[in-house]
A and B are shown apart, each in its own frame.
Chain A
């Protein structure tokens, strides 16, 4: 029985509210970055490279003397945008396949589950590296790769829910009415999946952010002139030994985003462990 179908509005405790606020902050920054960033991404503002935090440059300056605050704000756009696109793709693909597998069953279910399990058993960063090695690290390739890597996770979650719903009476009734596979998937099962799948979306989003910033950190993700938070950490690594804010700030930005999403989904009505499917 799908315990997820509740009409009670979720009451967000303090940590959940903090998570929601931080996530909302980064979403707004991602949308408005070009207008709120004090300088453009490539503008050289200071002769001091890897400079400290000052009033003029609150996040210091980077390895070329650019304003780090602007670079972090503009980087939010790429980190959040690319990750959200990849997560959305993964969830749509995973849910569609899961519904088809649950409603049709049989060999389709068996083959899909077997192959997607094999994809899960590849470490995600490794899979990313193999694809980048052969196709290069353009934005579409990065989005598609992350989507493929996290489709099986979304598939697993949605399939286990869909199989349960598929066995309920109203689905049997619909089938007896003579409704087709597509109708049952869309009208009978999908509406009952949406809430748990939303939680799953958040979890998956965190993994995608971690994967993409990991790739960028290795220099194999987002390529110049674009820079996401992972590339910002990489560019300024030489500042690490002096504790320069240019290397710490983008890293902290990633941490605030991923921790915020984790806090938020911990307090959504259907809790899922942050451990599964990573």
Chain B
């Protein structure tokens, strides 16, 4: 690690923090557009004017928007994003029970999809132009360009309805054995993996092909190195940075996917909490969930860029 690299990484982290701040303004701004009186909506039409005025003061609704933003941001940073407007529970408590479920789903999906997608992408790159490569390309392009819910519904149709391999709907409430756990998570994890894998396989294939096209690989080929040696010894070590970058970027697709998948399978995760909160217009919950998702997304993007910086050999000698 030299100074140039360190400076690039620190700059990248600073940009991420700045972006997260702008995102917080956007999220708060979008939700502050809410027409009508929130206090009135919470208490209902029958509420006395005094009660509405009291709640308005308690929710800081009588303060200007910039002050409310600061109060909200301060609360968020202290781990207290307020209370739900619907069931009056603290938002942190609601999120606390849901976040681990979503993280578990994401972790299982990553563990399942990363090795599989890399194998697909690398083998397709090595046998570029073959029938195998063209079929995988066609499938992955197909999956990338259709909605996540189509991929998920087709997966349910194939594995649960036609083949009866997996149960269509499952509850994670009573999981006691490993076999039970496998059965209940299988369908959501498989559907979500399809969404993430297609992108990851495409990007890792492109990354490795970029390296295979370089002149030092041609040199290795000319001096008579075997195909396995060329790929494993010459191409892969240099493609590793771009591939890890591709993996991190693809994992950010988990986010869009997880919103759809948790809804389809009625999975008690953070995304389902957010979708339900949007339907009931429970703004504190929506805001907090949106910030958690954006922070996670930015974290993956930043990680991808930092890996790209660390893996760039041109920066090492500078």
Contact = CB atoms under 8 A, between A and B. Distances in A.
23 contacts: A118-B26, A121-B23, A121-B298, A121-B301, A122-B294, A123-B252, A123-B294, A125-B256, A125-B260, A126-B293, A133-B278, A134-B30, A206-B145, A217-B147, A220-B279, A230-B147, A240-B161, A240-B168, A241-B168, A243-B162, A255-B147, A258-B147, A259-B142
A219 interface: yes
Max chain B C-beta neighbours (<10 A), residue from A117, A118, A130, A131: A130
Interface of A: 114-115, 117-119, 121-127, 129-135, 206, 210, 213-214, 217-220, 230, 233, 237, 240-243, 247-248, 251-252, 254-255, 258-259, 262, 274-275
B33 interface: yes
B144 interface: yes
B111 interface: no
Interface in B262-308: 263-264, 274-275, 277-279, 281, 283, 286-287, 290, 293-294, 297-298, 301
Interface string B126-166: 00000000000000011011111110011011001110000
B299 to A, nearest CB: 11
Interface of B: 18-19, 22-23, 26-27, 30-35, 141-142, 144-150, 153-154, 156-157, 160-162, 168, 199, 202-203, 252, 255-256, 259-260, 263-264, 274-275, 277-279, 281, 283, 286-287, 290, 293-294, 297-298, 301
A134 B144 CA distance: 30
A133 B286 CA distance: 8
Contacts of B19: 117-118, 121
B153 A130 contact: no
Contacts, number: 145
Contacts of A255: 142, 145-147, 150
Nearest to B287: A130
B147 A213 contact: yes
B278 A275 contact: no
A41 to B, nearest CB: 22
A235 B162 CA distance: 22
A135 B33 contact: yes
B153 A134 contact: no
Contacts of A115: 22
B161 A243 contact: yes
Nearest to A258: B145
B181 to A, nearest CB: 23
